C-alpha cells in the first residue's frame, strides 16, 4: 500500500491498493446483492474501510464519515465537473475505486486553464482535502479509452475503461455549522 501525493495539487492524495483484491471482490458481491434506497447508516460491509481510515490516521474522530455514496459507472459514463458543497460536507472527501481504472481531472474553479490529471487505479483511495477539495472541480470523462503520461521512459499509458464502482465517504455537517475553507 503506497501513498502517492499528487505534488502539483495541495491536499490531493492517492493510496494505491488501499484494499486487497479479495476485499474488492467481497465489496462488489455485497453491493451487487442488495437493493439501495440511499438512506440510513453506513452499510456494515464498509465498517472495515472506516476502521482502516482511522488506523492509518487518514481521518480524525471528528471527521468520521456519516455518509457513503455508492456509484456504478459503465464504460462510457463519467462525472460532470463539480465541487462537493463546502456548506454541506466536511473537509475530507474519500473515494474508493473498484474494478476499473480511470483518470480524474481537477480544474481550478476560477481559472479553467489550471488543470491536473490523476490516475485512480482499482482498489485505490482518493483523498481530497485543502485546495483540491475547495478550489477545484473534479470530473471523469465519458471516454472508454483514456491516455496519460506515466509510463516507463515517459511513454503514454492506456486505460480501457470498464465497469467501475466507487464508494465516496463524506461527513455531513450539522446544520448551522460555521465553515472555514482557508486551511
pLDDT of residue 183: 46
Mean pLDDT of the 149-167 span: 84
Q: Looking at residues 40-46, what average pLDDT do you find?
A: 87
Answer whether residue 58 shows pLDDT above 50.
yes
**Domain-by-domain residue ranges, the chain?**
2-170
Alpha-carbon torsion, ordered 172, 133, 123, 6, to 10 deg: -160
Q: What is the mean pLDDT of the chain?
A: 87
pLDDT for position 176 = 47
3-class SS at 23?
helix
Pick the CATH number of 2-170 from 1.10.600.10, 3.40.50.1100, 2.60.120.1520, 2.40.50.140: 2.60.120.1520
52-60 long-range contacts (CB < 8 A, ≥24 apart) are: 52/18, 52/19, 53/94, 53/169, 58/92, 58/94, 58/125, 58/127, 59/92, 59/94
Amino acid at each position: 500500500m503506497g501513498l502517492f501525493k499528487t505534488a502539483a495539487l495541495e491536499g490531493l492524495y492517492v493510496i494505491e491498493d488501499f484494499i486487497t483484491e479479495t476485499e474488492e471482490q467481497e465489496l462488489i458481491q455485497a453491493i451487487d446483492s442488495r437493493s439501495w434506497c440511499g438512506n440510513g447508516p453506513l452499510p456494515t460491509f464498509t465498517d472495515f474501510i472506516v476502521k482502516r481510515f482511522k488506523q492509518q490516521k487518514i481521518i480524525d474522530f471528528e471527521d468520521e464519515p456519516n455518509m457513503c455514496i455508492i456509484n456504478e459507472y459503465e464504460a462510457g459514463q463519467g462525472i460532470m465537473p463539480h465541487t462537493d458543497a463546502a456548506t454541506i460536507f466536511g473537509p475530507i472527501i474519500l473515494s474508493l475505486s473498484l474494478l476499473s481504472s480511470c483518470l480524474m481531472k481537477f480544474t481550478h474553479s476560477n481559472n479553467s486553464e489550471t488543470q491536473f490529471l490523476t490516475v485512480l487505479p482499482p482498489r485505490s483511495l482518493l483523498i481530497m482535502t485543502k485546495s483540491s477539495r475547495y478550489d477545484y472541480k473534479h470530473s471523469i470523462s465519458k471516454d472508454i479509452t483514456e491516455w496519460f503520461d506515466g509510463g516507463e521512459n515517459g511513454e503514454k499509458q492506456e486505460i480501457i475503461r470498464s465497469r467501475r464502482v466507487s464508494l465516496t465517504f463524506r461527513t455531513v455537517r450539522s446544520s448551522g455549522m460555521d465553515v472555514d475553507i482557508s486551511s
